[in-house]
Amino acid sequence: MKALIIDNVSPMIPETLRSHGVEVRIEVMPGAEVIKEIIPDYDILIMRVVPPIDRAILERAKNLKVIAVCSVGTEHIDHACAAEKGILIMNAAMGSTNAVAELTMCKLLELNRHTMRAHREVVEDGIWEKNHFKGHELKGQTLGIIGIGRIGSRVAELATAFGMKIIACDPYLTKEEIAARGAEKKELNELLAEADCVTMHLPLSKDSENMISYEQIDRMKPGAILLNMSRGGHVDEDALAYGLKSGKLGGLGMDVIKDEVGDLTGGDKLYSPVFEAGGEFVVSPHIGAVTAEAQNKIGRIISSQLIEALHLE
C-alpha cells in the first residue's frame, strides 16, 4: 500500500504507516497539477486543507481508499465524488480545539491592545509613545460566538475567565445546551447588535457561506471587533474591507482567507481586499492548529484511524 502526504503533518503519521509496511512519499504542497499527475499510484492521501480535492483529481485517483485530513473541516473535498468512488474521508475533529481557541484569544487581546502595531512603531520608527496605543480590557465586554461547538465552547470557557459576557448563535443547539456551554442563546442579528467582539467557529456550508456581508456589518455595534477563525468563505471580504475603511469595524482578525484554498503554488499572488483597507487588521496564515501539542494529538488520532480503517497489521 502507498501513502502520499502533501502537507507538514505530525511525523507520527509516516512513522506509523511505515511501521505497518506502507510505502510513504512526502511531497509538501506539490500543487493540484502535480497531485493529479501522481495520485493514481496512491491508496492513501494525507493532507490538511489545501488544495481543493475536486472531481478532476478524484477521477484519476483509481487506487485511492482514504483521504485523511489532519484538520477539522473537509469542505475542500468533493464529498459526492469521493462517495461515488468509495473513498473514505476522515478528519481529526478533536485535535486542534484548544489550539484554535487559544489563537482566538490571542487575536482578541491583540486587537484590543495593539501590541504588534506598538512593536513596529518602537522598532521600525524609533518612537516611544504610549499614548498612541490606548486599548480596551476584555473584562466586561460581550463576546458573540457564532457556532458554539468544540472550539466555540473552549473560547467561551477562556473568555469567561477573562471576565467577558458570552452570547452565542448556533441554530443546532437549544437554549439549555448553549447555557451549559456558558453562553446565552441569541439569533444572529441579535448577537451582531449586542456583541463588542464577534468570533466565528462554524463549518462552511451553503447556509454559512458569506454569512457576514455588508448588511451584517451594518448591524454590528460601531467599532466592534470581528474574528473569522473558521473558513474564508464565511465572510464577504469586500464587505469587511468596507467595514474597516468606514471605521464601522474597530478591528478585524482572520486566520483564514478565501484565497488560501486556491492553488497558490502556481505562482498567483495571495490577495484579499482587506489587505489594502487599513484600520486594525491582523491576519495569520491558517495557523490555528499549528502547535506542537495539536499536531501530536492530530498525529495520534489520524494514525489510529488509518490503522483501523485499512486494517493495517
**Rounded least distance, CB 18 to ligand NAD, Å:** 27
Residue 39 or 149: which CB sits closer to ligand NAD?
149
Minimum gap (Å) between residue 63 Cβ and ligand NAD: 29
Nearer to ligand NAD, 170 or 280 (CB): 170
Q: Which of 76, 181, 234, 286 is catalytic?
A: 286
Distance of closest approach, residue 71 Cβ to ligand NAD, in angstroms? 6
- Catalytic, 231? Answer yes
Quick one: 71 or 295, whose CB is closer to ligand NAD? 71
Residue nearer to ligand NAD on the CB measure, 97 or 310: 97
Residue nearest to ligand NAD (CB): 149
- Report, in Å, the least distance between residue 166 CB and ligand NAD: 14
For binding to ligand NAD (CB under 6 A), which residues are involved?
71-73, 93, 96-97, 100, 146-152, 169-173, 201-204, 207-208, 229-231, 255-256, 286, 288-289
In angstroms, give the least distance from the CB of 205 to ligand NAD: 6
Secondary structure, 3-state, the chain: CEEEECCCCCCHHHHHHHHCCCEEEECCCCCHHHHHHHHHHCCEEEECCCCCECHHHHHHCCCCCEEEECCCCCCCECHHHHHHCCCEEECCCCCCHHHHHHHHHHHHHHHHHCHHHHHHHHHHHCCCCHHHHCCCCCCCCEEEEECCCHHHHHHHHHHHHCCCEEEEECCCCCHHHHHHCCCEECCHHHHHHHCCEEEECCCCCCCCCCCECHHHHHHCCCCEEEEECCCHHHECHHHHHHHHHHCCEEEEEECCCHHHHCCHHHCCCCCCHHHHCCCCEEECCCCCCCCHHHHHHHHHHHHHHHHHHCCCC
User: One of 231, 234, 237, 280 is an active-site residue; which one?
Assistant: 231
- Indicate the residue among 265 and 284 with the shorter CB distance to ligand NAD: 284
Q: In the annotation, is 114 catalytic?
A: no
The answer to whether residue 260 is catalytic is yes
Active site members: 231, 260, 286
